Amino acid sequence: MKYHSTQGKREDPAVSISQAILEGIAPEGGLYVPKFFPAYCVNDFGTNLEKIAEKFLGTFFLNDPLEEHLPEICKDTFTFDIPLKPLDNGIEILELFHGPTAAFKDVGARFLANSIKHLNTKTTILVATSGDTGSAVAAAFNSIDNIQVVILYPKDRISITQKKLLTCWGENVISVEVNGSFDDCQSMVKKAFRDEEMVKEYHLNSANSINIGRLLPQAVYYVKASLEYFRKHKKYANFIIPTGNMGNSLSAIWAKLMGFPIGQIVLATNANDSIVQYFKENIYRANNTRETLATAMDVGNPSNMERFLNLKAFFNFDLSEISAQSVTDDEIRQSITQFYKEYKRAICPHTATAFAIQQKLGLEDVILVATAHPGKFPNTISDILGIDVPLEKDILDVMKKATDPHEISNYEELVNLLKNKL
Ligand SMILES: *Cc1c(COP(=O)(O)O)cnc(C)c1O
């Protein structure tokens, strides 16, 4: 399998998965996408997560230096449960938050870290985070030699718990608090990647969902969950997916296009509704970021939209079952309250967008995607429900090591910081 860039020309040579992973972003600024999407036979898949991962990802690593390491990479990535739990009447919830930093991003970040480990290169991972990516990436790369991690996050736009999880890793992780929004962080990262000198000097690589090494492993849990649902209910599952940068939902879309039993895919956004506007008007416009309760989805210009538009332009897939809906902060609050009333447990504000949309649409045969543990957002949950929902003890222990971050306001300060620290 080869990969080409969304901004590339048809005649440009395609690259291998190792190269796509190491570059992160393509030289002319595009994002890597597979040259084609293989069709799978669902009967070839069993029920074991690690085995499903090996089989599904095998095609994407064919004839690559990483191919021989894929079983080990899968074994080291899929170390925690990703359970699909029934709620009632054909509604189920896919819990993606049982990893080391309690959000779905642990899956992609661990897969990426384990892949890069086998490529034996010196690398600096530079990543912008709206809260959960940074900690997942820090945790995933923390124990890997030769790799430095630099994390940019927006000041005052993440929870205290998230901040602790970004600053508790020590040695090879540099945490940087940016005076601005997530989009400001993301533009600084993009600027650094366009800066050839910086890329060369520090061997910069990205661990944002612009890196294809994060998107492919995420498709694995959609493969597993859709098969499990289909075998149990003899029906295709509809998925509602909390969406920000569109990395998680794009993985689901890819899984659907490759023949797995997925019906509708509804992208749930918060008030940042560029994607919803796009589905309405068929014209994509980036917007300024709005602050909401579902902070990890506060993205005005979702980077994976580019991959979706490319899919539309170059493949002949029927995308009519993909749609998007946005949810206000009030609806998020109501959703958390309603879910607690019906199912006696808390959901995080992101997951709440999915439940709000299920309620609004009355969609049946549905899997709600739970992207983070509610304990990561203690203030929001206790404001709305008046209860404390603790995280698992091992995460609380790690958080005790939190330290002070570096602070910057612009790109020049980032350049200087890297000069001094790397
Ligand atoms: C990152 C994140 C999202 C959004 O995922 P994208 O891949 O950026 O669309 C949703 N919920 C939580 C908890 C997240 O951390």
Strand order in the sheet with 237-242: 84-88, 91-95, 366-370, 237-242, 262-269, 322-326
pLDDT for residue 72 is more than 90: yes
Pocket-forming residues, ligand 1, beta carbon under 6 Å: 103, 105, 132, 209, 242-249, 296-297, 350, 371-372
What confidence tier does 190 reach under pLDDT thresholds 50, 70, 90?
confident
| 266 or 315, greater pLDDT | 266
Q: Quick one: pLDDT at residue 48?
A: 97
pLDDT in tens, 18-44: 999 998 888 888 999 999 999 999 999
Share of residues in the chain with pLDDT > 90 (%): 85
- The closest-lying atom of ligand 1 relative to the alpha carbon of residue 242 is 10
| Residues 375-395: b if buried by 16+ CB within 10 A, e if exposed | bbbbebbeebbeeebebeeeb
pLDDT for residue 11 is more than 80: no
Centre of ligand 1 from the C-alpha of residue 297, in Å: 6
- The answer for residues whose C-beta is within 8 angstroms of residue 41's C-beta and 6 or more apart is 259
Poorest-pLDDT segment among 54-63, 121-130, 343-352: 121-130
pLDDT in tens, 230-259: 999 999 999 999 999 999 999 999 999 999
Q: Quick one: pLDDT at residue 157?
A: 86
Q: What distance lies between CA 266 and its chain's CA centroid?
A: 16
End-to-end CA distance of the chain, in Å? Answer: 35
Closest CA to 85 of 361, 368, 344, 338: 368
Centre of ligand 1 from the C-alpha of residue 372, in Å: 8
Structure tokens at 67: 């191919």
What confidence tier does 208 reach under pLDDT thresholds 50, 70, 90?
confident
How far apart are the C-alpha atoms of 126 and 414, rounded to whole Å? 11
Q: Quick one: pLDDT at residue 97?
A: 97
Beta bridge partners of 265: 239, 322
Task: Give the β-pairing of 262-269 and 237-242.
Answer: parallel
pLDDT in tens, 342-399: 999 999 999 999 999 999 999 999 999 999 999 999 999 999 999 999 999 999 999 9
Torsion of CA 113, 411, 377, 148, to 10 degrees: 20
Taking residues 216-227, report their average pLDDT.
Answer: 98
How far apart are the C-alpha atoms of 161 and 288, rounded to whole Å? 26
pTM of the model: 0.94
Centre of ligand 1 from the C-alpha of residue 246, in Å: 8
Q: Which of 214, 298, 371, 377 to mutate to test the pocket of ligand 1 (most atoms within 8 A of CB)?
A: 371
Instruction: For tokens 């332009």, name the residue.
Output: 313
Closest CA to 373 of 59, 50, 55, 104: 104
How far apart are the C-alpha atoms of 98 and 372, rounded to whole Å? 9
Q: What are the φ and ψ backbone dihedral angles of 168, each rounded to 5 degrees?
A: -105, 10
Average pLDDT, the chain: 94
Centre of ligand 1 from the C-alpha of residue 295, in Å: 9
| Residues 8-41: b if buried by 16+ CB within 10 A, e if exposed | beeeeeebbbbbbbbbbbbeeebbbbbeebeebe
Beta bridge partners of 149: 125, 173
Nearest Cα residue to atom 12 of ligand 1: 371
pLDDT for residue 163 is more than 80: yes
What confidence tier does 122 reach under pLDDT thresholds 50, 70, 90?
confident
31 near 212, Cβ under 8 Å? yes
Taking residues 97-120, report their average pLDDT.
Answer: 95
pLDDT for residue 101 is more than 90: yes
What confidence tier does 407 reach under pLDDT thresholds 50, 70, 90?
very high
Centre of ligand 1 from the C-alpha of residue 242, in Å: 6
pLDDT for residue 131 is more than 80: no
Closest CA to 242 of 294, 182, 280: 294
Q: Quick one: pLDDT at residue 181?
A: 87
What confidence tier does 127 reach under pLDDT thresholds 50, 70, 90?
very high
46 near 30, Cβ under 8 Å? no
Q: Quick one: pLDDT at residue 183?
A: 83
pLDDT for residue 161 is more than 80: yes
pLDDT for residue 340 is more than 80: yes
Beta bridge partners of 126: 150, 206
Centre of ligand 1 from the C-alpha of residue 350, in Å: 8
Q: Quick one: pLDDT at residue 8?
A: 86
Tell me if residue 372 falls in helix, strand or coil: strand
Taking residues 95-112, report their average pLDDT.
Answer: 96
45 near 223, Cβ under 8 Å? yes
pLDDT for residue 209 is more than 90: no
